[in-house]
Amino acid sequence: MTEEAPKQIPVRTNHNIRVVNLTTGDNVLCIFGELRSEEEDKKVVGYRMLYPFKLSLGEVNEENGTIPINYTRFCPFSPIEEHRLGGEHIISVVLPDNNILDNFANRLKEIGLKEEQIFFPVEEAPDGDQSEPDQTAA
């Protein structure tokens, strides 16, 4: 008898919130975006992190085995909440876990951002079905 893996809740994607892994070893949770040139070709010339928080793991909770995630301001030395950087400083950019996303969205709301500034409307598939396909294309 085989055990089935627990169903994973799909990661929400209707936002620009990302975990950015930097070459410094920092993991930064932020609203992430591209900076494009003003020229006709609109090439990507850099990236920006809005409202960045450095993520780190806390001590393991011996009672239930969970590990808390600590949030600290990325740059506590400046009130500016927009940081620009070049691609050479980025290792990877990934979507956060839904719990981390919800936590961060609540922090953003506490500082005055509105729901529509954080999340964009979920687009429906052309036939109104948002389910995953059950077969692969041949």
pTM of the complete model beyond 0.85 = no
> Could you tell me which of 67, 58, 70, 65 has the C-alpha nearest to residue 103?
70
Buried (b) or exposed (e) across 81-105, using 16+ Cβ within 10 A? eebebeeeebeeeeebeeebbebbb
The DSSP 8-state label assigned to residue 109 in this structure reads: H
pLDDT per residue, tens digit, the chain (138 aa), is 566 666 778 888 999 999 999 999 999 999 999 999 888 888 999 999 999 999 999 999 888 888 899 999 999 998 889 999 999 999 999 999 999 999 999 999 999 999 999 998 876 544 444 444 444 444
CATH of domain 17-118: 2.30.30.100
Q: Are 88 and 42 in contact (CB under 8 A)?
A: no
CA-based end-to-end distance of the chain: 31
